[in-house]
C-alpha cells in the first residue's frame, strides 16, 4: 500500500469542488439540492442534500468510470491489495451475486458451504448455476455452523472436477474462519476460481493480527462490506478482483444489476472510509480487538453466558477466529439468543446485531467506545440475574444439513402450490425461509422439507425470530414444487 497516495479522496474532493461551482440544476434528482423537499432537508441536512447529485462529466459515472471514480477505485485496490476494486452501491449482496455470475453460467457447478448468505443462493436462482454444498462443521455445544473442512472441500473437488468455482465465507457471522489459504491453493490446482464472501471481514485488510484476507492468500474475487465494519454508509461495499480476471467483463456483470443512478453519498463514504482505514486501520482495529477481548473476558465472569473466542480454533473447521466478533452463547441461562436480543433493545436501549436460537452477536467496530462496552456488559449481567431459568426443553442446535433435490433456479421457477407449513413435510421447497438477520436460509429453493426443519421454524417463530423469505408474510404457508 502506498500511504502517500492513500491520503487522497478523489470523489469527495470532486464533490466539494462541484459545490463551489454553484451550478443551477436542471437534472435529477428532483429535490434540486434539497430545495424541493424542506422536511427531508431539515432531517438529513442541507450539506447532505447538496451532494446528492446525478452522474455528470465533472463527477464521472460509476457504470463507466474514466476520471475521479476511476482514480478512487485505483486507490481502493491499492489499499486492499487487489488488482482492481469496484465501488458497489447495491450492497454486498450485489457484490456476492456479481462474483457468482461472473464465475458461472447456467449449468456450471459451484462449490460452496450451505451456510452462505441468501445473496449467494439468489445468484444461483438468477444465473442457473448448480450448487455443490459442503456442509460446514458444527459445534454441537454452541449449536453453530463452523467453517469448511479442507478434507470435505477436497472430497467435493474430487467428486466435481468440472466445478468452475468455490465460494468461501471469511468469516462467518459468528467470526469463524475456514482454512482460506489451503482451500484457495487447492482450488487453483484444479483450475477453479476462488470467491470470498467477506461481508464481515473488511477489517482483515487493515490489521496484521487479524485473520488472513481473501486478497492476501491469492483469491480471485472478494465481496467486502465496507459499511459493516469499515465505517462507510449502509449499502456501500467493494468488489475486489485479483489475478488474471478481466476488469471489463466483471464490470459488465456488475452493470447487469447495479443501478445506473449511483448515489454519490454512498460513493464518497466509501472513498473517505477507505482513506481512514488505509491511514489509521492498524491502530483502529487494534483498539477494536482490545475492546472486544475485554468484553469477552468480563462477560465470561458473569457465569452462564459464554462469549466464545480463539479457544475454538482447531486448525480446520475453525482455522482462525475473528476476535472483533462478540458472539455470546445464551442457552445456559435458559434464554434463546433472540430473547436476550429483545430484552437488550426493549428494556436497556441496546441494539445488537442479531439473536438466534442460542446465541447473540454484538458487532464491535470503528465507532464503538469503552463506555458503550461497559453498558453492554452490565446489562447482560443484570439480564442473567433477573431472567435466568432452567434450560430444559430448549432447542439445542442451529444448523440442519439440507437434502437437495433440485437446483435453486429450477425449483424457484417451476410450477408450485402454496400449502400450510405444517402440511409440507416431504415436499420440495420452492422459496426461501430464513431468520433475518443473519439471512442464512433455513430452507432454500430445491431442498426437501423435513420434520426437523419444520420443528426448527416453529421454535424460531415461538421465540420471536424475524422470519422472512416466503410469499406469505405470516410464514404460515409455504410454496412447494408440484
pLDDT tens-digit map of 12-58: 999 999 988 888 889 899 999 889 999 999 999 999 999 999 999 99
Question: Residue 82 in contact with residue 215, Cβ under 8 Å?
Answer: yes
Residue 28 dihedral angles phi and psi, to the nearest 5°: -85, 160
Q: How many CB atoms lie within 10 A of CB 350?
A: 16
Taking alpha carbons only, the member of 93, 134, 121, 94 closest to residue 444 is: 121
Q: Is 87 helix (H, G, I), strand (E, B) or coil?
A: strand
Q: Assess whether pLDDT exceeds 90 at residue 345.
A: yes
Does the domain at residues 408-481 carry the CATH identifier 3.90.105.10?
yes
CA distance 457 to 333: 22
Calculate what percentage of the chain has a pLDDT beyond 70.
99
Calculate what percentage of the chain has a pLDDT beyond 90.
88
Q: Tens digits of per-residue pLDDT, 133-157?
A: 999 998 989 989 999 999 999 999 9
Cell numbers placing 6:
492513500
Q: Assess whether pLDDT exceeds 90 at residue 462.
A: no
Q: Assess whether pLDDT exceeds 90 at residue 1.
A: no
Q: Is 85 helix (H, G, I), strand (E, B) or coil?
A: strand
Q: How many CB atoms lie within 10 A of CB 148?
A: 29
Q: Tens digits of per-residue pLDDT, 346-364?
A: 999 999 999 998 999 999 9
Q: Confirm whether pTM is higher than 0.85.
A: yes
Helix H or strand E encompassing 371? helix 370-387
Taking alpha carbons only, the member of 253, 158, 237 closest to residue 197 is: 237
Residue 33: Cβ-neighbour burial (10 angstroms; 0-12, 13-18, 19+): middle
CA distance 16 to 127: 40
Q: Range with the lowest mean pLDDT among 139-143, 185-189, 206-210, 435-439? A: 435-439
Question: Residue 79 in contact with residue 293, Cβ under 8 Å?
Answer: no
Work out the average pLDDT over 460-474: 90
Report how far apart the first and last C-alpha atoms of the chain are (Å, whole number). Answer: 55
Q: Tens digits of per-residue pLDDT, 441-461?
A: 899 999 999 999 999 899 888
Work out the average pLDDT over 185-198: 98
- Domains of the chain, residue spans: 5-278, 284-387, 408-481
Beta strands in 89-219 (DSSP E): 109-113, 130-134, 138-139, 144-145, 165-169, 176-177, 193-198
What is the DSSP secondary-structure string of 268-320? HHHHHHHHHHHHHHHHHHHHHHHHHHHHHHHHHHHSS-EE--GGG--SSTTSE
Residue 480 dihedral angles phi and psi, to the nearest 5°: -125, 155
Q: Average model confidence (pLDDT) for the chain?
A: 95
Does the domain at residues 284-387 carry the CATH identifier 3.90.1150.10?
yes
Residue 106 dihedral angles phi and psi, to the nearest 5°: -55, 130
Work out the average pLDDT over 104-129: 95
Return the top range by mean pLDDT from 76-85, 132-141, 400-409: 76-85
Q: Is 118 helix (H, G, I), strand (E, B) or coil?
A: helix
Could you tell me the fold of the domain covering 5-278? Answer: 3.40.640
Give residue 383's pLDDT.
Answer: 98
Q: Tens digits of per-residue pLDDT, 243-274?
A: 999 999 999 999 999 999 999 999 999 999 99
- For residue 360, the cross-strand partners are 328, 355
Give residue 391's pLDDT.
Answer: 86
Q: Range with the lowest mean pLDDT among 429-438, 446-455, 471-480? A: 429-438
Read off the pLDDT band of 398 (50, 70, 90): low
What is the DSSP secondary-structure string of 150-181? HHHHHHHHHH-TT--EEEEESS-TTSEE--HH
Amino acid at each position: 500500500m502506498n500511504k502517500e497516495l492513500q491520503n487522497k479522496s478523489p470523489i469527495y474532493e470532486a464533490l466539494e469542488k462541484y459545490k463551489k461551482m454553484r451550478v443551477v440544476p436542471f437534472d435529477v434528482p428532483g429535490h434540486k439540492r434539497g430545495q424541493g423537499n424542506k422536511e427531508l432537508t431539515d432531517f438529513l441536512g442541507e450539506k447532505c442534500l447538496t451532494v446528492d447529485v446525478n452522474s455528470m462529466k465533472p463527477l464521472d459515472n460509476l457504470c463507466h468510470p474514466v476520471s475521479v471514480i476511476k482514480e478512487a477505485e485505483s486507490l481502493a485496490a491499492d489499499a486492499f491489495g487487489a488488482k482492481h476494486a469496484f465501488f458497489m452501491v447495491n450492497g454486498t449482496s450485489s457484490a456476492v451475486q456479481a462474483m457468482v455470475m461472473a464465475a458461472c453460467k447456467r449449468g456450471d457447478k459451484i462449490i460452496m458451504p450451505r451456510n452462505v448468505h441468501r445473496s449467494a443462493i439468489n445468484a444461483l436462482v438468477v444465473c442457473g448455476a448448480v450448487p455443490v454444498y459442503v456442509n460446514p462443521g458444527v459445534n454441537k455445544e454452541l449449536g453453530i455452523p463452523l467453517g469448511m473442512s479442507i478434507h470435505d472441500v477436497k472430497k467435493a473437488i474430487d467428486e466435481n472436477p468440472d466445478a468452475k468455482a468455490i465460494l468461501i465465507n471469511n468469516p462467518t457471522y459468528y467470526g469463524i474462519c475456514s482454512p482460506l489459504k489451503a482451500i484457495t491453493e487447492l482450488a487453483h490446482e484444479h483450475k477453479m476460481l476462488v470467491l470470498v464472501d467477506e461481508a464481515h471481514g473488511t477489517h482483515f485488510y487493515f490489521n496484521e493480527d487479524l485473520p488472513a484476507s481473501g486478497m492476501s492468500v491469492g483469491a480471485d474475487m472478494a465481496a467486502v462490506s465496507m459499511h459493516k465494519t469499515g465505517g462507510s454508509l449502509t449499502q456501500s461495499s467493494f468488489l475486489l478482483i485479483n489475478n488474471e480476471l478481466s476488469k471489463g467483463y466483471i464490470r459488465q456483470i456488475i452493470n447487469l444489476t447495479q443501478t445506473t443512478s449511483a448515489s454519490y453519498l454512498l460513493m464518497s463514504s466509501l472513498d473517505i472510509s477507505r482513506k481512514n482505514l488505509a491511514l489509521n486501520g492498524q491502530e483502529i482495529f487494534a483498539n477494536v480487538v482490545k475492546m472486544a477481548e475485554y468484553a469477552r473476558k468480563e462477560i465470561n465472569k458473569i457465569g452462564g453466558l459464554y462469549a466464545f473466542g480463539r479457544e475454538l480454533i482447531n486448525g480446520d473447521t475453525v482455522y482462525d477466529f475473528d476476535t472483533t466478533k462478540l458472539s455470546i452463547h445464551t442457552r445456559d441461562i435458559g434464554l434463546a439468543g433472540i430473547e436476550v436480543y429483545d430484552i437488550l433493545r426493549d428494556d436497556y436501549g441496546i441494539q445488537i446485531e442479531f439473536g438466534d436460537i442460542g446465541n447473540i452477536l454484538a458487532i464491535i467496530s470503528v465507532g464503538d467506545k469503552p463506555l458503550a462496552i461497559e453498558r453492554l456488559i452490565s446489562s447482560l449481567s443484570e439480564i442473567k440475574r433477573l431472567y435466568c431459568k432452567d434450560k430444559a426443553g430448549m432447542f439445542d442446535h442451529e444448523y440442519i444439513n439440507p437434502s437437495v433435490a433440485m437446483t435453486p433456479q429450477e425449483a424457484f421457477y417451476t410450477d408450485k402450490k402454496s400449502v400450510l407449513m405444517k402440511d409440507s413435510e416431504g415436499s420440495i421447497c420452492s422459496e426461501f425461509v430464513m431468520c433475518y438477520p443473519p439471512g442464512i436460509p433455513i430452507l432454500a429453493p430445491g431442498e426437501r422439507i423435513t420434520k426437523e426443519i419444520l420443528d426448527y421454524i416453529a421454535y424460531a417463530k415461538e421465540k420471536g425470530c424475524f422470519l422472512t423469505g416466503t410469499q406469505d408474510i405470516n410464514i404460515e404457508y409455504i410454496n412447494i414444487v408440484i
